[in-house]
Structure formats: C-alpha cells, structure tokens
Amino acid sequence: MSEIDLATAKKIANLSRLKMDDAELDTRAASLTGIIKWVEQLQEVDTDNIEPLANVVNTELVLRKDEVTDGGYADKVLKNAPEETQDFFVVPKVVE
Amino acid sequence: MAQLVKGETGDWEIVIGMEVHAQVIANSKLFSGASTQFGAEPNSQVSIVDAAMPGMLPVPNEFVVEQAVKTGLGLNSKINKTSVFARKNYFYADLPQGYQISQFEHPIVGEGTIEIDLPDGSTKEIGITRLHLEQDAGKSVHDQHPTKSFVDLNRSGCALMEIVSEPDIRDPEEAVAYLSKIRMILRYLETCDGNMDEGSMRADVNISVRRPGEGLGTRAEIKNVNSLKAVQQAIDFEVSRQIDIIEDGGEVVQETRLWDPAKNETRSMRSKEEAHDYRYFPDPDLLPLHVPQEQIDRIRDALPELPDQKKHRFMADFGLSLYDASVLIAERERANYFETAANGNDAKLTANWVINELLGALNKDEHKAISDSPVSAESIGELTALISDNTISGKIAKDVFAEMYKSGKAPGVIVEEKGLKQVTDTGAIEAIIDEVIAENQGQVEAYRGGKDKLFGFFVGQVMKKSQGKANPGAVNKLLKDKL
C-alpha cells in the first residue's frame, strides 16, 4: 500500500485522536504517501544477511534491581489533572 | 473425551483458545520503582514513569525478566534469548501513555506444551503459543458518580505475563482444567499468586464452533471471564449463541464480547471494534532484551518440582492412581503434607486418609487451607501406621481422627487414653464370643440349623461387646470355629 488515500488518513487520525478537516487530511495523506514511498525505496537494499540494528552505539539494555524506590506522591501525580477527588483522577464516564 | 454439542441440524465441535493475564510477583513494577502491593491508597504507588509524564524513560525490572523465563520453563516452552518490547497503541482513560508497552513479534517465551487433567481421569496436551511481558493498565471505578469515572493508576505499569494457548481446547471442562493447571504451575513457581478474585490472574476466552472435521469458524473473544465457574458458564452461553446464529442462516461476527456474570450472558463491546488496530511498533525507548544462556540454565537448575513431574512421581513411586495423584498435587502445600505423612508409611492408605478424611474435614470446616489444619502431617502418618500394624482398626481410626481434629492430640495418645487398642489377643476375643453364644442360644440353634445369614449378627454382637476394638479378621475366624 504505497498510496495513503483520504479514508485511510481519516482512520489513522481517528485512531490517534487527531481532529482534522478534509483539506488538512489531504495534505497529510500526501506527505504520508511520500514517507511510505521513501521507505519502500529503502527496502530495495539487500539486507538478507544483516542483523537488525537497534541502536548505533552498540550498548546493551540496562536493567534495574527489583526494589521499591519510587512512588508515594499522589499529589505530584495528580497535579496536572483537570479534575480530582480523594486522590483519584476524575474523567468523563467511560463505562460500556 | 471432548464433547460435541447437538444443534438442531447436527453436531458441532467447539474450538477454544485462551489468553491468561498473570500479574508477576515482584516488589516493583515492570519499568519503574513504584510498589506493586495490592490495596494501597489511590495513586500512592505511582511514579512519574507510570503516570506517563513527558521525558520519562522505562527501565526494565531484572527480576520480572527472570520470573518470565522461569514461567516459560515451567510451561515447557522455548525461551527466546532476544525479545523486543513494542508499543500497542490505544486510548483509554486508565492508560496514561496512550500505549501499552508489550511484546509483539518477538516475545520472551515461544512455543511449548502443558498437560491438563480431566475429570474422567484422562490427560490431554495443550499447546502454548507464547508468553510475553507487558504493562498492566490502571483501574477505573465507575460506580462512585453518575457521570464520571474515577481513575487509580496504582496498577498502571505492574508487570503482566500474557500466556496464549493454541486453539487445542475442545469443551468447557478442558478450558477449566487448562486454567487450573496454568494457575497451579504459576503458584508452584511463585511467579503469580493466581488470585482471580483480586484480578491478579484474568482470562480471555476465544471461542468458535465448526462441524467436526471442518476448518476453523469465526471466533469471538470473550473478556472479563474471571473465575473457573465463569469460564464454564461463558463458554456454554457463547457456544449456544453461535450455534443458534449459524443454524438460523446467519454468520458469527468476529468481535470482542464481555461476559456479564450477573446476567449470565456475553454481549458485544462495540467500542473495541476499531481499537483492534493497535499499530504495534518497536518501543524506541527500549533496546532489545537479551537473556544469556547461562542465566536460562541457572533458572532451569533452580526450578522446583513442577505439578506434572510430582504427579508422575507420586504414581510411579507410591503406586497412586492418576486421580489421587492429581488431587494431592493440586496445591504445593498439600503435596508436601502428603509426602511428610506418607514418609515410611503405606502411601496408598495415607493418600486415602489425606484425601477422604482430612480434606473432607477441612472442607466442612469453613474450607480451611491445609496449612491451617489442626492435624499435622506427622499425626496422619502416625495414624496410618497404627492402622497398618493392626494397633487399631480402620473403623476406630475414624473416631481417633475426629478426636485428633478436635483436640490436636497425637493419635497414639488418644488411643492410649481412651483404651482403643485393637484386641488381637485370641483368648480375650474367644471369651467375648463365648459370652455372646451363651446369651443367644436361640440364634445359635437357628444358625446351626442352616440360617447362614445370622453370622453377621454374631459378628455385630462381638464387635459391640468389644466396643469395636476386636480385630475383625480374628473375630470372623474364631466365630466360624466356635459355631
């Protein structure tokens, strides 16, 4: 699928919770198409015997010990919440 | 054997695959140092990583990785030395990141097999597709306000293992047996507490139906199936719903459905329709996870004996039936209790006493756990030894057991105090028999005249006179001679 049409752009915008009018969606669809075509071009390179590269500095994933070192500050966590009560975030009802 | 379901137009076969979400036992979360303890004050165990503040970086918990490898080995599955964390994108109020860090193309554990025990005493192998690590979401509370939901992020970021089965399950009994076995393995390994009430183990059930021998039908994914009973009920409901649709000429829609235990039905979760497009991609904040072979070997060497190994050992070493072995290994504590009790004793007899008497008594006593048993394993062992060496009869042993359960006293002490020792001394038994014969001349005449059935009456009289203490074998033999 090298062409992102308006319907696909609309679906992606909806899944990403982005509100866009048709004119903007048109522009985005065109630039997304450009990106995908560029990636398709990259895929022409033969990489059959090459390990995928996750980063360029050859470092390993760092793990931590299983210790409780964080938390205990509900006030900080809730500081940006538009609404809160009894240390809960309060949001519009989201039940089925 | 898997049951077929009879419809209006013929037989149907059920095909079930399960996804079990198991919360990993660890002190801290998958990617942050916040505590995982259950039941804390709202948002008190949330780090700024869990709250998804901009610029925060996830750092994996090494113990959780170890727990996942341990579980994979316990499920007889392949451990992938390289796995990759990926973002699963969707929006929900209790998912502050807007994505869940999970594993997609490269899970930490690959294919394997486990054995399940069915109620008819047979076993069946069920394939494991994969196990991957992922973050749990927060918790929404919907019943505190008419138009608002309350969100607590304490659970956000706790480590989950998602264990996916092959669609090898064919009826509700197998599904229940599968879930029980998974829970048993997790508890033996101490990688998840398996507590379905607290939500630390949850199941999604994928169900479809087909004509026997045909290809797979369209499946529905049932969520919120959170007890063994719910598994059975949700499958029963969903299977008849799907058969009705197809037999009426309709088609099953592939969708997510919610099990409602109050109404006893599944219903469509329409909001999930589009959300299934998760747009996974490798998480750029996390490098691939490497588990060296030495670490895998070290974890494998330290594995405890697993339920199925224990089951087969109990059958081979103690000559127990599959049923008895399955009951005894259901909990690690129970298996240990049995082994302590059976040490040096008749194992089959001990198994009978543990299963029939002790578990029965505990069940009647507010479903007590074996760890709270007033009767110690050593005492049960002593009791079976007293039966084996003919000190007391099996019948008297039941009274002794009741007393042991009540007072916690050792069986030897009770037998001594109450004078319950079996009388094997032939002289003493003969004396009682003589008394019985003297007191029941009429019956003796009748017996000698051919009324064989009266023999039981004499045995009863002798046992009664001896207060149940006479050895039944000796009584039978001596009575025959005297009469």
pLDDT in tens, B147-189: 999 999 999 999 999 999 999 999 999 999 999 999 999 999 9
Domain B426-482 bears CATH identifier 3.40.50.2000: no
Instruction: Measure the CA–CA gap between B77 and B108, rounded to whole angstroms.
Output: 10
Distance from the Cα of B123 to chain A's closest Cα (Å) equals: 38
Question: For chain A, which residues make up each domain, given as ranges?
Answer: 6-42
Phi-psi region at B420: left, alpha or beta (left = phi > 0; alpha = psi -120 to 50): alpha
- The reported pLDDT for the residue numbered B111 is 97
Q: What is the dihedral of CA B39, B40, B43, B49, to 10 degrees?
A: -90
Question: Computed over its alpha carbons, how large is the radius of gyration of chain B?
Answer: 30
Smallest Cβ–Cβ distance between B62 and the set A63, A77, A94 belongs to A63
- Which residue in chain A is spatially nearest to B286 when comparing CA positions? A61
Question: For chain B, which residues make up each domain, given as ranges?
Answer: 5-299, 305-418, 426-482
- The reported pLDDT for the residue numbered A1 is 54
Smallest Cβ–Cβ distance between B142 and the set A17, A68, A95 belongs to A95
Each residue's pLDDT, cut to its tens digit, for chain B (483 residues) gives: 567 888 888 899 999 999 999 999 999 999 999 999 988 999 999 999 999 999 999 999 999 999 999 999 999 999 999 999 999 998 888 999 999 999 999 999 999 999 999 888 889 999 999 999 999 999 999 888 999 999 999 999 999 999 999 999 999 999 999 999 999 999 999 999 999 988 899 999 999 999 998 899 999 999 989 899 999 999 999 999 999 999 999 999 888 899 998 899 999 886 655 656 889 999 999 999 999 999 999 999 999 999 999 999 999 999 999 889 999 999 999 999 999 999 988 999 999 999 999 999 998 988 888 989 999 999 999 999 888 887 887 788 888 888 899 888 888 888 777 777 776 677 777 778 888 888 888 888 888 887 878 888 888 887 787 777 777 777 777 777 777
**Sequence-ordered strand ranges (E) for B249-317:** 255-260, 265-268, 281-282, 289-290
Contact A77 B41 (CB under 8 A): no
Name every chain A residue with its beta carbon within 8 A of the beta carbon of B286.
Answer: 61
Contact B41 A60 (CB under 8 A): no
Encode B433-481 in three state secondary structure: HHHHHHHCHHHHHHHHCCCHHHHHHHHHHHHHHCCCCECHHHHHHHHHH
Name every chain B residue with its beta carbon within 8 A of the beta carbon of A69.
Answer: 28, 33
Phi-psi region at B450: left, alpha or beta (left = phi > 0; alpha = psi -120 to 50): left
- The reported pLDDT for the residue numbered B395 is 81
Q: Are the C-beta atoms of B290 and B60 separated by less than 8 Å? A: no
- Is A96 a residue whose pLDDT tops 60? no
pLDDT, tens only, B59-104? 999 999 999 999 999 999 999 999 999 999 988 889 999 999 999 9
Name every chain B residue with its beta carbon within 8 A of the beta carbon of A57.
Answer: none
Amino acid in the structure at residue B264 = N
Residues 6+ apart with CB under 8 A from B242: B207, B208, B209, B217, B220, B252
| Number of other CB atoms surrounding residue B294 within 10 Å | 8
Contact B44 A63 (CB under 8 A): no
| A93 lies within 8 A of chain B by CB | yes
- The reported pLDDT for the residue numbered B61 is 98
Q: Parallel, antiparallel, or unpaired: how do β-strands B220-225 and B255-260 relate?
A: parallel
Tell me the count of A-B CB pairs closer than 8 A.
133
Name every chain B residue with its beta carbon within 8 A of the beta carbon of A76.
Answer: 48
DSSP B426: H
Instruction: Measure the CA–CA gap between B475 and B483, rounded to whole angstroms.
Output: 12
| A88 lies within 8 A of chain B by CB | yes
- The reported pLDDT for the residue numbered B269 is 82
What is the share, in percent, of chain A residues with pLDDT greater than 70? 97
Angle of helix A6-15 versus helix A22-42 axis, rounded to 10: 100
Instruction: Measure the CA–CA gap between B172 and B379, rounded to whole angstroms.
Output: 39
Contact A70 B92 (CB under 8 A): no
